[in-house]
Structure 1
């Protein structure tokens, strides 16, 4: 046994380490304002498809270019949290005038903290405390307005019976069932540049420009994020009239450097030559091994996408595709992006799946498309025995 162990040790010691995963990403260059609005969402779909392949480490756009917090919003949030703690301490001591003064200052601080908030706290807590203080001094109508804002932000926010009186909690129930609380308004959120992800009260609601038709009236936390730009936020006041907000996003230095190279890169992708030195330089500057990069143009109600899959060392265009897209009316865009990514990657022979489970990531409809997801074997590649029906296993939609 000792001799066997000695024989095995050198083999173990000199075993080759597993190959490092290729660093890959997707970037789309919008060629007009309409294409700009769709580019970030499409990049996300394609990066998700690249993630189906083993041996690939997908770098998202926010990793490449950053998406920093607004430092002023972060500072306001820190001051708001401290102010709320002091307000609660004064309230619990029944020092109501001091508590009201402090909670007013806290709410003023939190007005500028929306870009840094990921949940309703401490804003909802401060609003509840403020409404309770107004109710205590007999200003019931103002207390109701504060409760309307609270319920717009968080309809299920709980009031602690240990802190708040039974009468105040009953007032909240009364406001929740009132006609005013049932009113709705619409808000349209835009950004420069377009295509930014929009969050309202912590929930993702779409990409700019987006119209939200049925928001409860009152205050709402708005946050706008686009890779390569500083996060934007504000407390948005929704009324029965339409509201429009435009976020002017501030680019990071990494995105500015990338943007300066886009004219040359877009030209190389559009010409679809065998090698692209500008693309190679871009890939190397981003620390990638391979890049799926394309140009996107609006075309009527749809768009035209020109894609190239490039090697970072040589700038070689290993695969490419030009296609027309018909929009996303029925949610088909995600599947189309996955399909084209699989076509390009599979065409150069990278057919390795992340999972050995033959049913992993399969929804039962794979035969509707002849494309190979994440390197999985195509149904039509299976060997058939002589005499088998040549149409066996063919659904008639493979060319889709």
Structure 2
């Protein structure tokens, strides 16, 4: 009998294990160039909303398509790190001619490395070393120009007093408080396709196309990345005049395979086909079980969105919406996307929405229902099922009911 019980224990443990989470994502097809950036933004908001559901594992675009770096840029960065180390060693030995030759070569390598850089090192160190060498040989004005670049890319970079002289450190302070360092310019960054994330000096500055105002004159580290495309970077020179950077991103093989299926998928979504074989094929190729799949196109001052919630194992449409969104001037787009996702998933997964029949379409509506009753991740429904008697008379009251 004991042996029988032990033999049954693994089976019982297996039966009690929770069901695996469904792999889900959001996939929007831009129908015109003007909608490319909006599609990326909407996908991000919908993935955030899907992440509220405990039974889902959200696969982000980076996981689906990859976010590869540039091998040439990575090699240039490795050579630059080695070059800086050698030039710094020569500088410390007071072998200034050798140090200058090596740091010049290092800065040349760094021109091709920005897409692989996540901080200003070794660029900042190399600029500081080169400026110090120019200062030592008496080229003070040239040294000031290099320090302007250093201050632009990293205003808080500190010079090592054990390596650099007091006079050079004082020159850096003089440049930082001078008129030239106070000048500002703007940069407009574009990419094809649009919607790529833009990083300036390691900080997210927006999505292409974007204009970044009030940048300090001098050099800045620019990096552009979009899932499914090779990362792009460059040392961007900002002047008091407006500058523009435009690039065509290089797609990965996985993104090309995805892109080849989009025409059929867009046709099925826009026609509202209940059993979409193209959508099912897309899900199979990407390893997804559920997805928000839709199309976006410019419509007046807003965007027309046709969105479907699909079971990707068979292409069955579980829910759909067609809306016109009026931009994101006041940050309302995120709430709109979250509300649509919550309603479609809750309804399709067995929640349902309460419908009150009335001749007055506004009957029993105060206009604030969504503020206190939005069901994020299906939590409201699950909490209602487990609701117990409590002593607090205000439990479950949001304060907006009477309104």
* TM-score, length basis structure 1: 0.89
Tell me, yes or no, if the aligned pair for 1:30 and 1:297 is still in contact at 8 Å.
yes
Tell me, yes or no, if the aligned pair for 1:21 and 1:57 is still in contact at 8 Å.
yes
Tell me, yes or no, if the aligned pair for 2:230 and 2:251 is still in contact at 8 Å.
yes
Equivalent in the alignment of 1:368:
371
Equivalent in the alignment of 2:318:
318
RMSD: 2.5
* Correspondence list, 1:211-360, <5 A: 211-349=211-349
Q: Secondary structure at the match of 1:134?
A: helix
Q: Secondary structure at the match of 1:14?
A: helix
Counterparts of 2:384 and 2:5, CA distance in 1: 43
Q: Secondary structure at the match of 1:29?
A: strand
Counterparts of 2:101 and 2:23, CA distance in 1: 54
| Structure 1: tracts of 5 or more residues without a match | 352-364
1:379–1:203 Cα change, 3 Å: same
Q: Secondary structure at the match of 2:98?
A: helix
Counterparts of 1:152 and 1:102, CA distance in 2: 23
Deviation at 1:66, TM superposition (A): 1.2
Tell me, yes or no, if the aligned pair for 2:372 and 2:398 is still in contact at 8 Å.
no
Deviation at 1:20, TM superposition (A): 1.4
1:10–1:70 Cα change, 3 Å: same
Instruction: Please state if 1:133 is matched with 2:136.
Output: no
Equivalent in the alignment of 1:357:
none
* Correspondence list, 1:1-400, <5 A: 10-11=8-9, 13-15=11-13, 16=15, 17-349=17-349, 368=371, 370-377=373-380, 395=400
Deviation at 1:312, TM superposition (A): 1.5
Tell me, yes or no, if the aligned pair for 1:371 and 1:378 is still in contact at 8 Å.
no
Tell me, yes or no, if the aligned pair for 1:24 and 1:56 is still in contact at 8 Å.
yes
Deviation at 1:394, TM superposition (A): 7.8
Aligned pair count reads: 378
Q: Secondary structure at the match of 1:267?
A: helix
Q: Secondary structure at the match of 1:187?
A: strand
CA shift digits 1:58-94 (9 cap, x unpaired) = 1111211111001111111011101000011101111
Deviation at 1:371, TM superposition (A): 2.6
Counterparts of 1:280 and 1:12, CA distance in 2: 35
- Worse-matched range after superposition: 277-286 or 312-321: 312-321
Q: Secondary structure at the match of 1:120?
A: coil
Counterparts of 1:380 and 1:154, CA distance in 2: 50
Counterparts of 1:349 and 1:275, CA distance in 2: 17
Deviation at 1:349, TM superposition (A): 2.4
CA shift digits 1:293-319 (9 cap, x unpaired) = 110011122111111111121110011
Counterparts of 1:176 and 1:227, CA distance in 2: 38
Deviation at 1:57, TM superposition (A): 1.1
Q: Secondary structure at the match of 1:293?
A: strand
Counterparts of 1:63 and 1:378, CA distance in 2: 31
Counterparts of 2:139 and 2:33, CA distance in 1: 50
Deviation at 1:130, TM superposition (A): 0.5
1:397–1:35 Cα change, 3 Å: farther
Counterparts of 1:220 and 1:397, CA distance in 2: 54
| Structure 2: tracts of 5 or more residues without a match | 352-367
Deviation at 1:48, TM superposition (A): 1.2
Tell me, yes or no, if the aligned pair for 1:369 and 1:397 is still in contact at 8 Å.
no
* TM-score, length basis structure 2: 0.88
Q: Secondary structure at the match of 2:341?
A: helix
Counterparts of 2:243 and 2:76, CA distance in 1: 25
1:319–1:244 Cα change, 3 Å: same
